[in-house]
Amino acid sequence: MLFQRLGKYAPVGELLLRVTIGVVLCGHGWQKISGGMKFEGSVARIGFPFPLFFAWCAALAEFLGGLCIALGLFTRPAAFFAGFTMIVAVSSNITRPLIGGFDWPLTLLLCCLFFFIAGGREYSLDNFFLKKKQSV
């Protein structure tokens, strides 16, 4: 009975998940941006050409993507780019143990996949602007 009643609060749970994942991604992106791009060395070790360029791409995908996901604005494109960055993070750590290796990027990847498929959902700026556009 209690669990049936909780179903009506699913949009609140989705909002909490979206904001939390967005803030976490944004924080990780900011860490890379404000760190003077020391992250470039990690990107070079993975084997990417033009490591400074791709380091900035990854940092901005996390920072701006996280911000957009948290706000529910351009949620699907933001989740796509942030998720792609997490695919690289998982694949570059796949030889390490799951826990303390690629567990966190894998979790973020799956959350990005959810938001890529589902969008911003009910309490998002995407939904707000879509409703506004449909009423005009």
DSSP codes, 88-106 = HHHHHTTTS-IIIIIHHHH
pTM for the model stands at 0.90
Q: What is the pLDDT along the chain (136 residues), one digit of tens a residue?
A: 678 888 889 999 999 999 999 999 999 999 999 986 688 888 999 999 999 999 999 999 999 999 999 999 999 999 999 999 999 999 998 888 888 888 999 999 999 999 999 999 999 999 998 877 666 5
Tokens of residue 130, six digits: 């879509």
Report DSSP state, residue 35: T
- Give the pLDDT of residue 135: 66
Please give the structure tokens belonging to residue 50. Answer: 């033009």
What type of residue is 118? Answer: A
